[in-house]
Amino acid sequence: MWRTPGGDRTLEGSEAEIFLTALRDLARELNCDRDEHETGVSVFDRHSLGQKVVLLRQVANALTNADEPVPIHTTANEAAIYAVFEHLRNLLEEEFLVAETDIPAPTEIRSLIRRACLDAQIECPASPENACVEEWTDCVEDLADLILWDRDFEDEGVFVDSPPGQESAPDDLQASIPYFGDIPSDPSEDEAQRMLDQLRIF
C-alpha cells in the first residue's frame, strides 16, 4: 500500500490502468535508452538505470499490492511516482503530435486520462477529442496529486545541495531522517535487467 492524501491505499480500476500504462511504457523506453533516458524529473533522472528500476518497482508494488508494507516517503520514491506521471504527460504530447497528421486522430491516452478523472470526480474535458493541451496536462497533475503526499521532493536541490550558510531544510523536514537523504540500492546489471523486464509487463 501507499500513503496518499486520502489515506493508505492501493490504486484500482482506471487509476491503476493509467498509472501502469505509463509505467510499462517508461520501462520500455528505459530499456532502449538506458542511462541516457530522462523524464524531466531531476531527482529521479540523476540516478543510475539500476536505481531507477529499483525505485519504480518499489512504488509499483506498493501502489498495486495491498499486502505490501507502506514505504516511508522519500524524495527518491515520490520522484519516481512523479516521473511516471511526467512520462504520461509525454505520451499525451506525443498523441497530440500524431493527431496533427493522422485521421482519425488518436485519443487513447486522453480517453484513459478522462476515465480516471471521471472515476476520481476530477474536472476534465467533456470529450477525448478535446484538443486543449493545457486542460489535459492539468488533469495529469490532478491525478498525480491524488497519490503524492506533497511536492517536497522538488525542493531537494535547495535543501541538500545548498552551500554552508545558505538555506537549509526546515526543522520538521530535517527530523524526517530518510526523506532527503535516502539513497536507492544499485543492483547488478543482470538484476536490473531482470527487474526492468518485469516492469515492462507489470
Q: What is the tens place of the pLDDT at every residue in 152-183?
A: 888 765 444 433 344 444 555 444 456 777 78
- Report which of 185, 201, 82, 89 is spatially closest to residue 137, judged by C-alpha positions: 89
| CA dihedral (141, 144, 149, 153) positive or negative | negative
Residue 163: cis peptide before it, omega within 30 degrees of 0: no
Three cell numbers at 154? 522538488
Main-chain phi, psi angles of 2, to 5 degrees: -130, 140
Q: Give Cα separations from 182 to 3, 104, 149, 172, 196 (angstroms).
A: 18, 47, 17, 16, 21
Whole-number pLDDT of residue 125: 96
- Report which of 83, 97, 99, 102 is spatially closest to residue 140, judged by C-alpha positions: 83
pLDDT in single tens digits along all 202 residues of the chain: 999 999 999 999 999 999 999 999 999 999 998 888 999 999 999 999 999 999 999 999 999 999 999 999 999 999 999 999 999 999 999 999 998 888 888 999 999 999 999 999 999 999 999 999 999 999 999 999 999 999 988 876 544 443 334 444 455 544 445 677 778 999 999 999 999 999 999 9
Whole-number pLDDT of residue 104: 86
Residue 158: enclosing H or E segment and its boundaries? helix 156-161
Burial (CB < 10 A; 0-12, 13-18, 19+), residue 182, is: middle
